[in-house]
Amino acid sequence: MSQNVFKVSSKSQVNALAGAVAGGIREGKVELQAIGAGAVNQALKAIAVARGYVSPQGINLTCVPAFVDVVIDGEERTAMKLIIESVNH
């Protein structure tokens, strides 16, 4: 089972990201990483849109939010990660 990790910014396009989530979830788990409120917002919107993409295949997406420390330019920052899982019906 593979795990795709996508980094999300406040400028990430919701529909493109939703497509990547929908594609990735068919292969396994998907994780979105976001730093800052704008990025977190885009990530969450993308999951809501992706739910609509995969719902006709009987896939129900849920997400688990968690904190993760990441190092950017030598500085430690706290990012949110959203672990997306599919619950089949």
Q: What is the DSSP string of 47-61?
A: HHHHHHHHGGGTEEE
- 37 scored as a contact of a second copy (CB under 8 A): yes
- 30 scored as a contact of a second copy (CB under 8 A): no
Tell me the C-alpha distance between 77 and 3, whole Å: 22
- 16 scored as a contact of a second copy (CB under 8 A): no
- 47 scored as a contact of a second copy (CB under 8 A): yes
Tell me the C-alpha distance between 57 and 68, whole Å: 31
In order of 63, 65, 74, the CA distances from 22 in angstroms are 13, 18, 33
Q: Which residue has the tokens 């420390």?
A: 69
Among 5, 16, 64, 70, binds a second copy (CB under 8 A): 64
Kindly tell me which of 47 and 74 has the beta carbon lying closer to a second copy: 47
- 18 scored as a contact of a second copy (CB under 8 A): no
Residues that bind a second copy (CB under 8 A): 10, 36-38, 40-41, 44-45, 47-48, 51, 60-67, 80, 82, 85
